[in-house]
Amino acid sequence: MSFFDRKRQYLVGSVILLLLGTWPCCAEEPVRLTTDGRLKATPVFTQGGTELVFAVLENPKLFRLMTMRLADRSVEPLRQAATTAEFEPACSRDGRYCAFVRQRGALSLSVAILDKQSDTLVEVLPPPGFAGLRSPTFSPDNSRVLYSFADENRQQIFSTNLQATDPQKLTDSVGINNWPNCSPDGKEIVFSSSRDGNFEIYLMQCDGSNAQRLTHNPLQDIRPRFSPDGKQIVFVGHRDGNSEIYVMDRDGTNLARVTHHPERDDYPDWHTDGKRLVVVSERGGRHDLYLVSVP
Amino acid sequence: MLDIGDFRSRTCSGVTRRSFLRLGSSLPMAWALPGSLQKARAAETPRAKSVLFVFLWGAPSQLDTFDPKPDAPIEYRGPFGVIPTRTPGVHFTELLPRMATRSDRFTLVRSNVAISSSSGHPKGGTVALTGFEEQPEPVQPNFGSIIAKHRGHTGYLPPFFSLASGKLTAGGEYIKGDGGGKLSTAHDPFMVGCSQQGEVDIPTLKVLQGLAPNRISDRKALLNLLDKQRAQLDSPALRKWQRTYRSAYDLLMNPKARGALDLTRESPATRARYGHSQFGQTALLARRLVEAEVPYIQLNYSRDVDAFNPGYEIGWDTHIYNFELLQDQLCPTFDRAFTALLDDLYDRGLIDQTLVVCKGEFGRTPKINSRAARDHWTNSYFSIWAGAGVQPGRVIGETDRLGQAPRSGPIVTPLRVGTTIAELAGVSTQARAEMRVLDGGTVVDELF
């Protein structure tokens, strides 16, 4: 083999290696689901991954919950009659219930639990005055709703039954505890807390005991969610200079960055296939929903 | 004589719809000065041709933005990490990455102090915009009204714009100090709103709802539209609106003026840099008004203070969920839009002739409240200054270890803010004395 043949072979090999190296990136370009660019937040999959529910800033005065059918990407309001802001939706695994934050008045937020089957609404009410509940999520057996509520200078995670009659405090720490999410087997809850100084991700038993810290970074790690098989956790971090999406194993190891963009990526939720995430990405100053692959 | 425009006015018999713009050649312009005085004033060259006052209505938390206290006890410091800035030794919270990389383009004041007896929003808003408390009446004029009166209406646009979808409110109550006050309503701001899509709205001309300036093709079309709405003016009380309508009409009839309000003339890339939020596109509109040499532009982040109030935009009054609101919406939107605005002013060579001041009406409690958020705090807060000779890349003033009060540097009161603005805008000590405004105020010399 001549020198030039060897060089040609080397070049061809290099090109192939380069293509292989970039192939996953090229093959897994994010899929844009919406194009209106309005501010969006907290998309969640429901109905076995065939639908999304998310909040959109319909106008500067109103967040409204929308439902998107992934098959044709048609979008319609979840509750057409809503006249005040509704956001941070959560859907029960069977799709029957939807919980969300509902604005009741000035600086007053409840968690509403909608039974779509009977079209009834139950609310976990805040105390009078400025107060609110946020970040609802369902237990996997659809028996309880977890949420965050601030009182006595701290913000704790609570749970209640679907009738909103037996609120139970699950955390009792200093700082802000927020964004609870149950493991698929219902045994554990992942959440963020500032109890050690800044927002980090923690894992605790479903009764609130034995909290363990999973992340250690001077910048925030928030909005954790278990993968459908319970082996991984997706979250939002600032560790690389702006808001990006990361995944890690449920014990905090094997950290991998999912998004790489100078603009904001936020609000991840797992598709039921466990291979994709829906995220809200700001691109060109517009906020849209994207499907991204998990590396 | 032609009456155009409409609004809703309350009468003894209820709410009625009236039209009231009376166009007559004999009517003086609202902001007109006597010819000789106007020429004299125009001959002066103020350091700041334009003042851009960015009002963070509702009062942002200083500890969670520009004056973090990472070493304070947990009941004070909040949950955010800090990031270095381009200014050595200076840190912001992680919510402001763009501002951190541009700290060499502005000066941060950490020793602002408001008036403790005006710790509520309407009163605090009046103090922030006028330098004085509401009482005794008549209320003192907005800084912009002082400059508008001094400069007069020399260009094709009114001299004082307030960018919001209506008069600023707190829980439905108006700020008394948002306009001309004792200088008369003739010096009230000309209000213009802007949607997240960049559609401009003139609240006083609701008849034009849905008719963006770029869609007004000719005078005849506009007149036809307005004629359809016209009715009779029958109440003297309505006459005070006349000037506003006249100005609005004149503005819409002038292609250059319409152009200043037309964001479609901006490239998609430019509009993207500001972000497609209401504040982002309004900030871009503000930059266009600076280019048009409008003397005073008040760019309001939100019309109402409340973060969660049905029917209102999301403001900075974060008595609950302060940390979530700051990280989810308020700071990302502000960080993007304000830095785009700064970049544009620098890149277009406008910064030397433009004074940018950004602040709220006060700060928020360093100690986290019972709802794990922050309440009102008048003893310390921040302001951002850029352009018109302000030496950038510095921090002026320092607060104590808990951020409760300034411990060094100049005490910067709203009156001093207004006086500094007026001085740079060409309203001299003598002129202020003649107008009997900003009495007792001093310039913040440390800025220069």
Contact A176 B79 (CB under 8 A): yes
Q: Which residue would you say has higher pLDDT here, B27 or A66?
A: A66
Q: Which residue of A has its CA nearest to B96?
A: A242
CB atoms within 10 A of CB B284: 22
**Helix (H/G/I), strand (E/B), else coil: A74:** strand
Distance CA B287, CA B337 (A): 11
Tokens of A189: 């809850």
Q: To the nearest whole angstrom, how far is the Cα of A163 from the nearest Cα of chain B?
A: 24
Distance CA B204, CA B162 (A): 12
pLDDT of the residue at B250: 73
Q: Are B238 and B18 in contact (CB under 8 A)?
A: yes
Domain of B355?
Answer: 50-206+274-447
CB atoms within 10 A of CB B136: 8
Q: Residue A38: which residues within 8 A CB-CB, separation 6 or more?
A: A56, A57, A58, A286, A287, B196, B276
CB atoms within 10 A of CB B54: 24
Q: To the nearest whole angstrom, how far is the Cα of B133 from the nearest Cα of chain A?
A: 26
For the stretch A77-90, pLDDT in tens is 999 889 999 999 99
pLDDT of the residue at B389: 95
Within 13 Å of residue A167, how many CA atoms lie on the same side as its CB?
16
* Nearest-10 Cα torsion for A215, A221, A222, A226: -40
Contact A241 B97 (CB under 8 A): yes
Q: Which of A270-284, B12-26, B338-352, B353-367 has the lowest mean pLDDT?
A: B12-26
Distance CA B142, CA B160 (A): 10
Contact B272 A286 (CB under 8 A): yes
Nearest to B56 by CA among B45, B68, B65: B65
User: Does residue B264 belong to the interface with chain A, where contact is any CB pair within 8 Å?
Assistant: no
Residue B311: inside a domain: yes
Residues in chain B with CB shorter than 8 Å from the CB of A109 are: 308, 320-321
Distance CA B370, CA B365 (A): 11
Contact B308 A154 (CB under 8 A): no
Q: At what angle do helices B278-291 and B331-347 cross, to 10 degrees?
A: 20
pLDDT of the residue at A120: 94
Residue B28: inside a domain: no
Contact B312 A107 (CB under 8 A): no
Structural domains counted in chain B: 1
Across A136-160, average pLDDT: 95
Q: Are B232 and B311 in contact (CB under 8 A)?
A: no
Residue B77: inside a domain: yes
Tokens of A271: 């598709």
Residues in chain A with CB shorter than 8 Å from the CB of B278 are: 60
Is A197's pLDDT higher than 50?
A: yes
Percent of chain A scored above 90 by pLDDT?
83
Pairing of strands B91-93, B82-84: antiparallel
For the stretch B117-151, pLDDT in tens is 888 999 999 999 999 999 999 999 999 999 999 99
Residues in chain A with CB shorter than 8 Å from the CB of B77 are: 197
Residue type for position A238: H
Residue B97: inside a domain: yes
Residue B351 sits in a domain whose CATH number is: 3.40.720.10
Q: To the nearest whole angstrom, how far is the Cα of A141 from the nearest Cα of chain B?
A: 28
Of B80, B196, B336, the CB nearest to A198: B80
Residues in chain B with CB shorter than 8 Å from the CB of A197 are: 70, 74, 77, 79
User: Does residue B321 belong to the interface with chain A, where contact is any CB pair within 8 Å?
Assistant: yes
Across B90-109, average pLDDT: 98
Distance CA B2, CA B250 (A): 13
User: Peptide bond preceding A224: is omega within 30 degrees of 0, i.e. cis?
Assistant: no
Residue B228: inside a domain: no
Q: To the nearest whole angstrom, how far is the Cα of A152 from the nearest Cα of chain B?
A: 4
Of B81, B311, B317, the CB nearest to A218: B81
Residues in chain B with CB shorter than 8 Å from the CB of A174 are: 74-75
Please identify which residue in the block is written with the tokens 């509702």. Answer: B58
Q: Residue A113: which residues within 8 A CB-CB, separation 6 or more?
A: A97, A98, A99, A121, A122, A123, A124, A136, A145, A162, A164
pLDDT of the residue at A15: 47
Distance CA B254, CA B219 (A): 9
Residues in chain B with CB shorter than 8 Å from the CB of A242 are: 97
**A interface test, pick of B308, B331, B369 with most A CB neighbours within 10 Å:** B308
Within 13 Å of residue B272, how many CA atoms lie on the same side as its CB?
11
pLDDT of the residue at B28: 27
Q: Which residue would you say has higher pLDDT here, B301 or B7?
A: B301
Of A84, A176, A219, the CB nearest to B81: A219
Residue B281: inside a domain: yes
CA distances from B360 to B315, B357, B364, B387, B407 (A): 11, 10, 10, 19, 21
Residue B331: inside a domain: yes
Residue B196: inside a domain: yes
Q: What is the ipTM of this complex?
A: 0.89
What residues 69-108 of chain B have any CB closer than 8 A to a CB of chain A?
70, 74-75, 77-83, 94, 97
**Helix (H/G/I), strand (E/B), else coil: A233:** strand
Is B64's pLDDT higher than 60?
A: yes
Mean pLDDT computed over every residue of chain B: 84
